[in-house]
Amino acid sequence: MEKQYRQTIIAGNWKMNMLASGVKGFVEELTPLVPGYKKWCEAVVCVPFVMLPAALKAFNSGGIGVGAQNMSEHASGAYTGEVSAAQLSDLGVGYVIIGHSERREYYGETDASVNKKVLAALASPLRPIVCVGESLEQRKTGVTNDLVALQVKTALNGVSIEDIRRVIIAYEPIWAIGTGMTATPEDAQDVCREIRKVLGLLYNYETARAVTIQYGGSMNEKNAFDLLAQTDIDGGLVGGASLKPELFAAIINAANQR
């Protein structure tokens, strides 16, 4: 199977939930539920900025990666309230979510700004998790593949063939985020396959097959196995289910299909 050429990554996105004081207890509950998980996947938890020190201390002891949920496109300067890639890396953060649909909808992020953030992340040791996806209206009008292709091409503008393997693409249909609705495994696979085709056109076949593509749209303990069994789905960007150790553990364990 072609999945042997790429890494399976299960990433939790805690959004604006939890408290720093609760991180240690979460890790203590999660760790015994995922014995030996590193044999089949990388696990990551992306937390709010204020929780990063606590998360780094607690999760790293169990080998789980820590990511941020956003970052600035700027390296430094007079940008009050922003956080740079260098500042995240200096803490020990390894991943950063870029272009989540909530950032696009509520804070005006665009494909162009996403591209700037991707390039800024790749100028540091961070691995960007780049989110793309369509609304329900866009899906109904049949433009999903064209729209997602455009988002991918714009986000990766200027990304070298050497750096693209550090990028993780997360397909997150907007209509399925936090709604309980989920793309069928077949529908999710269709879009993820198209994303890989775009990567092949931008780079080459060997490079495209090495890039991790996640599904992120209400993945949970019930549907994770079938979603992760799809040829071009290499992991998940998990929202609500990542807030409960037993549910997050079930998804991590569902990735054990090799």
Per residue in 15-52, is it b (16+ CB within 10 Å) or e — as a string?
beebebeebeebbeebbeebeebeeebbbbbbbbbebb
- Can 172 be counted among the known catalytic residues? yes
Residue with tokens 């300067």: 77
Give the chain's end-to-end CA distance (angstroms, integer).
9
Using alpha carbons, list the distances in angstroms from residue 223 to 178, 187, 218: 14, 13, 9
Distance, in Å, from the CA atom of 50 to the CA atom of 142, rounded to the nearest integer, reads 40
Question: Among this protein's residues, is 109 annotated catalytic?
Answer: no
Catalytic-role residue among 73, 102, 109, 172: 172
Catalytic residue among 42, 100, 102, 109: 100
Give the closest residue to 239 by CA, choosing from 152, 180, 168.
180
Q: Which secondary-structure segment (H or E) carries 129?
A: strand 127-132
Could you give the C-alpha distances from 222 to 48, 98, 135, in angstroms and in order?
A: 26, 27, 23
Catalytically active residues are 100, 172
